[in-house]
Amino acid sequence: MQRYFVDSTQISSPDRITVRGDDVHHIKNVMRMKAGDRLICCDNRGTDYLAELVSVSEGEARCRILETTASRGEPRIQVTIAASLTKGDKWEWMLQKGTELGAASFLPFTSARTVVKLDGKKAGKKRERWQRIAKEAAEQSHRGQIPHVEGVTDWRSLLERFSAFDRVLLASEKGGRPLREALQESAEEHLMVVVGPEGGFTETEEREAVAAGAVTVHLGPRILRAETAPLALLSCIHYSYGEMGGEPL
């Protein structure tokens, strides 16, 4: 069944939801839904509404709520993926799959070896595009929330963000602790994983990250690409906490 994210202003008591924007086009022209057809609206705050389409016009799709349930798609552990910009469409791939795999938010950054540069105007447009990708992936994967995609930040500013997290794990090719060990001692709920660009981090950056509170971790002897590492880390972290197939559905 199709899922659409709405915000609280679109939900009116006792049982009405009004879908607006691009999703109306999708409902009307892509899915060709008719009155009586069912869909799920999620309020991006953890509640799913099973709804029935009442009527569609150019700008609005009016729905009647049939059932209200808690969204089931959100993991308990909130993992933020801080990932350096990478070339081509790799960052967008990672964003899409990271959303499927349950990431809470994404923080693009540039470090010493980042190859991609984004000027101010381009960066703004990219961010809009990325937020759209996250929304579509969240809908398709049945998430209860759309991961937030932040603006591109620099290395210094990224370091300053570490203290807001219970644990920060920096993916290192040079060694560090096995991921399993780093997670065992952690019973916390807000994690950040930090993954560098194609060329990795400099030794100075690794030292600065550790000084700012990060733990360097590795995922075994194989080298993972910049766009693969966040997905592997996310999968293993959630699995470790029993989120990915750790409990019956």
199 binds a copy of itself (CB under 8 A): no
Tell me if 45 sits within 8 A of 8, measured CB to CB: yes
Find the binding residues for a copy of itself in span 200-229 (CB under 8 A): 217-225, 228
- Looking at the DSSP bridge assignments, the partners of residue 108 are 83
Which range in 57-65, 138-146, 160-168, 204-212 contacts a copy of itself by CB under 8 A?
138-146
242 binds a copy of itself (CB under 8 A): yes
46 binds a copy of itself (CB under 8 A): no
Q: Of residues 32, 34, 45, 72, which one binds a copy of itself by CB under 8 A?
A: 72
Q: Provide the 8-state DSSP code for 9.
A: G
Residues near 138 by Cβ (< 8 Å), separated by ≥ 6?
Answer: 5, 99, 145, 146, 147
Minimum distance, C-beta of residue 13 to a copy of itself, in the bound complex (Å): 28
243 binds a copy of itself (CB under 8 A): yes
| Helix residue ranges per DSSP H, 71-211 | 90-100, 120-140, 155-161, 179-184, 203-211
21 binds a copy of itself (CB under 8 A): no
87 binds a copy of itself (CB under 8 A): no
Minimum distance, C-beta of residue 181 to a copy of itself, in the bound complex (Å): 8
Tell me if 178 sits within 8 A of 102, measured CB to CB: no
Residue 163 main-chain phi, psi, to 5 deg = -65, -15
Measured CA to CA, the distance from residue 225 to residue 197 in angstroms comes to 9
H or E element that contains 240: helix 229-240
54 binds a copy of itself (CB under 8 A): no
Minimum distance, C-beta of residue 41 to a copy of itself, in the bound complex (Å): 17
Minimum distance, C-beta of residue 213 to a copy of itself, in the bound complex (Å): 20
Instruction: Please report where in the chains the tokens 């780093």 appear, as a residue.
Output: 182
245 binds a copy of itself (CB under 8 A): yes
Minimum distance, C-beta of residue 157 to a copy of itself, in the bound complex (Å): 28
Length of the chain: 249
231 binds a copy of itself (CB under 8 A): yes
Measured CA to CA, the distance from residue 10 to residue 95 in angstroms comes to 27
Minimum distance, C-beta of residue 26 to a copy of itself, in the bound complex (Å): 18
Burial of 80 (0-12, 13-18, 19+ CB in 10 A): buried
| Residues of the shown chain interacting with a copy of itself in the complex, contacts defined by CB under 8 A | 72-73, 75, 93, 97, 100-102, 140-143, 175, 177-182, 217-225, 228, 231-232, 235-236, 238-240, 242-249
